[in-house]
Amino acid sequence: MTLMPTHARKPSPSAEKILVIRHGAFGDIVQTDGALRDIRARFPQAEIVLLTTAPFRKLMGRCPHIDRILIDNRAPLWRLGALWSLRTALKNESFDRVFDLQKTDRTELYHRLFLKNTIWSGRVVGHRPASAIDGYLAQLRDAGVEPAECARPNVEWMADDVRTTLAEAGVRSPYIALIPGCAARHPHKRWPYYDQLAAALIARGYDVVTAPGPDEIELCKSIPGHTLLGPNGFLNWFELAGVLKGARFVVGNDTGPSHVASCLGRPGLALFGPHTSAARTGIRRGAFDAIEVANLTDLDVQTVLDAVLSKLPAQENSV
- Dihedral of the CA atoms 131, 252, 210, 54 (nearest 10)? 20
- Which pLDDT score is estimated for 272? 96
CATH homologous superfamily of domain 2-153?
A: Glycogen Phosphorylase B; (3.40.50.2000)
- pLDDT tens readout for residues 28-41: 999 999 999 999 99
Do the bridges between strand 226-227 and strand 207-210 make them parallel or antiparallel, or are there none, so unpaired? parallel
Whether residue 124 is predicted with pLDDT greater than 90 in this model: the reply is: no
Whether residue 3 is predicted with pLDDT greater than 70 in this model: the reply is: no
- pLDDT tens readout for residues 109-121: 999 999 999 999 9
DSSP per position, 179-223:
E----TT-GGG--TTHHHHHHHHHHTT-EEEE---TTSHHHHHTS
- Which pLDDT score is estimated for 268? 98
- pLDDT tens readout for residues 271-301: 999 999 999 999 999 999 999 999 999 999 9
* pLDDT band for position 85 (cuts 50, 70, 90): very high
Q: Which of 5-19, 83-97, 276-290 has the lowest mean pLDDT?
A: 5-19
pTM score, whole prediction:
0.92
Decide whether 2-153 matches 157-317 in CATH topology.
yes
- Which pLDDT score is estimated for 9? 67
Say which DSSP state 104 is in. Answer: S
Q: How far apart are CA 1 and CA 8, in angstroms?
A: 16
* pLDDT band for position 2 (cuts 50, 70, 90): low
- Which pLDDT score is estimated for 215? 84
Q: How far apart are CA 187 and CA 145, in angstroms?
A: 39
Helix axes 194-203, 301-310, angle to 10 degrees: 50
Q: How far apart are CA 278 and CA 288, in angstroms?
A: 11
Whether residue 17 is predicted with pLDDT greater than 80 in this model: the reply is: yes
- Which pLDDT score is estimated for 129? 86
Q: How far apart are CA 314 and CA 309, in angstroms?
A: 8
**Is 157-317 a domain of CATH 3.40.50.2000?**
yes
- Which pLDDT score is estimated for 254? 94
Closest CA to 108 of 96, 92, 125: 125
The chain-wide mean pLDDT, for the chain, equals 92
Domain residues of the chain, as ranges? Answer: 2-153, 157-317
Closest CA to 223 of 248, 246, 260, 192: 192
Q: How far apart are CA 249 and CA 244, in angstroms?
A: 8
- Which pLDDT score is estimated for 5? 61
Whether residue 318 is predicted with pLDDT greater than 60 in this model: the reply is: no
